[in-house]
Structure 1
Amino acid sequence: MRYLLTLHMNPTLWGTLTDDQKNAVYAGHGAFIELITESGEMVETKALAEPGDTKTVQVKNGVAQTKNGGYVESEAFLCGYYVVDVESEARAVELAAKIPDAQYTAVEVRKVVHEG
């Protein structure tokens, strides 16, 4: 079963971390990637740009309207994800707890129900 593990960034919270804590998060991602690659559970991972580098597109009355920024007006934003292929939801939750961001913010575990 595949699961999407989403990571969310809160810039205010991130700003309170020491350089050592931030470096531990970066190193922790390297260790996590190594873990799920060696176990064969890694499918994909991506880091995403901040909302300031984002465009949101909506079509109204047949006309595409574009705005700068993310869809949700919020300080926190989706900053990355992992897709894992695991035996159970329990294993996906176990892996999510190993992602270093889980120490500071939540990691969402969502089952993939369709792939194109």
Structure 2
Amino acid sequence: MKYVILVYGNATTRQMWENMTEEQRLEGWKGHIAVREGLAASGELVLSEALADTSLTKRVTGTVVTDGPFAEVKEHLAGFYVVDCENIDRAIEHAGKLPESTFGLVEVRPVLDGM
């Protein structure tokens, strides 16, 4: 079954990231690299991408397009992994290895089949 692991960020984690040294940032990326490599090695990785800054976001409502970021949200989607795992517990196991899980900023959702 496919699951999407959603990785969020917020103003606090963004500030923490900006205040880190280059070495500290590299350590953060190493956490993601390890999860991605583990998923690839197990054959469970379908797709993984980091997303551009929310300032580049566009929201479409009917025929109206507005620029982001959108201040009414506390957290923004920073990236995602699509995984194909035996069950949700296995997807949660992978999600728990992500650095953002420490802050409660990772969500696991089943992907609907047939859509």
TM-score normalised to structure 1 length: 0.85
Q: Distance in 1 between matches of 2:108 and 2:81?
A: 10
Deviations 1:20-61 (A, max 9, x none): 4432211111111110000000000111112210111111xx
Larger Rg: 1
Equivalent residue number for residue 108 of structure 1: 107
Separation of aligned partners in 2, 1:23 and 1:11: 20
When residues 110 and 68 of structure 1 are mapped into structure 2, their CA distance, relative to the original with a 3 A threshold, is: same
DSSP-derived class of the 1:81 partner: strand
Give the structure 2 partner of residue 88 of structure 1.
Answer: 87
Q: Percent identity?
A: 35
Q: 2: CA distance between counterparts of 1:40 and 1:94?
A: 15
Q: What CA RMSD, in Å, does the superposition of the two structures yield over aligned residues?
A: 1.9
Alpha carbons 2:9, 2:105 under 8 Å: kept = no
Count residues with an aligned counterpart.
Answer: 112
| Higher mean C-alpha deviation, range 76-85 or range 106-115 | 106-115
What amino acid is aligned across from residue 81 of structure 2 in structure 1?
Y
Unaligned runs of 5+ in 2: none
Q: Which aligned pairs between 1:1-116 and structure 2 lie closer than 5 A?
A: 1-17=1-17, 18-19=20-21, 20-59=23-62, 64-70=63-69, 73-116=72-115
| 1:55 aligned partner, one-letter code | K
Amino acid at match of 2:66: K
- Single out whichever of 100-109 and 76-85 deviates more from structure 2: 100-109
Question: For 1:35 and 1:8, how far apart are their aligned partners in 2?
Answer: 21
Using structure 2 for the length normalisation, give the TM-score. 0.85
Rounded to whole Å, the distance in 1 between the matches of 2:26 and 2:114 is 34
